[in-house]
Amino acid sequence: MSLMKLMRSSLAAMMVALVAAFGTQPALAQADTAAPPAATAPADATEHEAVDNPYGLQALWQQGDFVAKGTLIILVIMSMGSWYIIFTKLYEQRSMMKSARESAEAFWKANSVKAGVTALEEGSAFRYIAESGIKASDHHEGTMVESIDKHTWVTMSVERAVGNIQGRLTDGLAFLATVGSTAPFVGLFGTVWGIYNALVRIGISGQASIDKVAGPVGEALIMTAIGLAVAVPAVMGYNWLIRRNKAVLDQVRSFSADLHNVLIAGKR
């Protein structure tokens, strides 16, 4: 009885071994069969990378009509003008802040206003305000404005000079605001025009497959992206310059108020 059990267990072990041996061969064969496509994948990827993109900014310029090219030129002019204004206003504000430091160090340490004016940089905003105040104080008597009291006349002259400085600081900011508000719509106009031309060409060709539609429409969307790229720096530059102008004007108004008090006190 024990011999029969031993034979049965031996046969069962042999069957399991045979099944395991023959069962792994199809898997290996299948793995070997699946290996060649993996080897050809780099060739397919290389072939895919070699295909040139028929759409893009260069193609948009070469294939676009006068409306598309004109829209691009307008956006480029807007961008160049915005960056020019941003850099020039930053330089101007930096110069005025430097003049403010010079006035605190040299002007108020002078013996008189006229001596302090010579210590300021030629053409600076603070020197312009000081010269305007001195001129109003010196030429008040014996003129048409003699009927106006000296205090009022000096105040008006100094405030007028401050207003001129403020106007010079805000010069060009309207262009930034205009670019920031209109550039996205200019780009959107270019996109609408490009989609219209793309649909017309598709209708003429009679082919409405995805490759014929997606390419031209995606190319037209470049206009909107350019419009946003022009508008965002203009808006950020506008807000930044406005905040810096406020700091500069605070320095100018503080200087003009102190100068007004000195001139009214009679020390020139």
Condensed to tens digits (0 to 9), the pLDDT of residues 166-194 reads 888 888 999 999 999 999 999 998 888 88
**Residue range 121-168, pLDDT digits in tens:** 887 888 888 888 888 777 656 566 566 777 788 888 888 989 999 888
Question: Hey, what's the torsion of the CAs at 113, 119, 123, 127, to 10 degrees?
Answer: -20
Percent of the chain having pLDDT more than 70? 67
Query: Model confidence at 112, in pLDDT bands (50, 70, 90)?
Result: confident
Say yes or no to pLDDT of 87 above 60. Answer: yes
Instruction: Report d(CA 60, CA 21) in Å as an integer.
Output: 64
**Of the candidate ranges 125-134, 227-236, 246-255, the one whose mean pLDDT is the lowest:** 125-134
What pLDDT shows up at residue 140? 58
Please check whether residues 216 and 230 belong to one and the same domain. Answer: yes
Instruction: Report d(CA 152, CA 39) in Å as an integer.
Output: 92
Instruction: Report d(CA 4, CA 2) in Å as an integer.
Output: 5
Residues 6+ apart with CB under 8 A from 235: 176, 180
Please check whether residues 176 and 120 belong to one and the same domain. Answer: yes
Please check whether residues 76 and 166 belong to one and the same domain. Answer: yes
Please check whether residues 157 and 209 belong to one and the same domain. Answer: yes
Say yes or no to pLDDT of 1 above 60. Answer: no
Answer for the pair 190, 73: CB distance below 8 angstroms, yes or no. Answer: no
Please check whether residues 194 and 121 belong to one and the same domain. Answer: yes
Please check whether residues 32 and 82 belong to one and the same domain. Answer: no
Helix, strand and coil in the chain, % to nearest 5: 85, 0, 15
What pLDDT shows up at residue 17? 44
Please check whether residues 47 and 65 belong to one and the same domain. Answer: no
What pLDDT shows up at residue 11? 46
Query: Model confidence at 209, in pLDDT bands (50, 70, 90)?
Result: low
HSE-CB for 21 with a 13 A CA cutoff: 6
Instruction: Report d(CA 110, CA 117) in Å as an integer.
Output: 9
Q: Look at the chain and report how many structural domains it folds into.
A: 2
Say yes or no to pLDDT of 16 above 70. Answer: no
Answer for the pair 215, 54: CB distance below 8 angstroms, yes or no. Answer: yes
Q: Which two tokens stand for residue 159?
A: 């405030």
Please count the residues of the chain: 268
Please check whether residues 191 and 74 belong to one and the same domain. Answer: yes
**Of the candidate ranges 24-28, 122-126, 261-265, the one whose mean pLDDT is the lowest:** 24-28
Q: Concatenated DSSP letters for 19-64?
A: HHHHHHHHHHHHHHHHHHHHHHHHHHHHHHHTS--S-SHHHHHHH-
Mean pLDDT over each residue of the chain, to the nearest integer: 75
Please check whether residues 29 and 138 belong to one and the same domain. Answer: no
User: Pick the residue with more confidence: 87 or 12?
Assistant: 87
What pLDDT shows up at residue 220? 75
Say yes or no to pLDDT of 6 above 60. Answer: no
Please check whether residues 116 and 29 belong to one and the same domain. Answer: no
Please check whether residues 34 and 75 belong to one and the same domain. Answer: no
What pLDDT shows up at residue 43? 46
What are the backbone angles phi and psi of residue 227, rounded to the nearest 5°? -60, -40
How far does the chain reach from its first CA to its final CA, in angstroms?
135
Q: Which domain holds residue 15?
A: 1-51
Total-model pTM: 0.68
Cα-to-chain-centroid distance, residue 88: 16
Please check whether residues 32 and 8 belong to one and the same domain. Answer: yes
